[in-house]
Structure formats: C-alpha cells, structure tokens
Amino acid sequence: KERRIYEMIEKAKRDEVSALAGARAEGKAEGKVEGKAEMAHEAICKYLDARFGEASQSLQKKVKRIDDLGILGEIINKIYMVNSLEEARAVIDAAAK
C-alpha cells in the first residue's frame, strides 16, 4: 500500500514537470510569434511614417491591430511599392480582408 502511494506521488510529480515543460514551450512559441508581429508592425509603421508622415497615423493604428503574421507579411511584401497613402491604405485593406 505504501509503495503504491509512493508511485502515485512520483507519477504526479512527473506529470507536473511534464505539464510545466509543455506550458513553457508553448509560451516561448507564443512569444516568438508576438515578437515577429511586433517587428512587422514596426517595419510597416516606420515606412509609413517616413514616406507619408503624420497623415499615416490612422493607417499605422490599423496596422498595429493586425496580429496575423501572414497578413503582416503580405503587407510588407507590397507596401514598399506604393506611391501614395491611398495605395498604402488599399494594400492594407486588401490584406486585412
């Protein structure tokens, strides 16, 4: 009976360690995604600010609300080709749909 209790306690400890390791790995993955999204936001917003100045503030706010890395990547691939703020808006709106 004592051995069985001991084994149950040991199993519970191993399960807890395993759960913590899984949570830690998941947290790291989420952090990487958030970091990449932050870098994409920064790149897009810096470009908009350098190119269009204060007039791009509302568009920058819209970009910062986008969390999907695929959408942000699509915007980055196209944003450097625009010639006007309206074209930039169109690129962002099309990608966000």
Better-predicted residue by pLDDT, 84 or 1:
84
Alpha-carbon gap, residue 13 to 8, rounded angstroms: 9
User: What are the distances in angstroms from CA 67 to CA 12, 15, 50, 61, 62?
Assistant: 37, 33, 22, 12, 11
52 Cα distance to chain centroid: 25
Per-residue pLDDT tens for 26-68? 888 888 888 899 999 999 999 999 999 999 999 999 999 999 9
Q: Using the predicted structure, report yes or no on whether residue 91 has a pLDDT greater than 90.
A: yes
Q: Summarize the confidence of residues 61-84 as an average pLDDT.
A: 94
pLDDT at 59: 96
Alpha-carbon gap, residue 37 to 42, rounded angstroms: 9
Write down the pTM of the prediction.
0.71
The average confidence (pLDDT) of the chain is 92
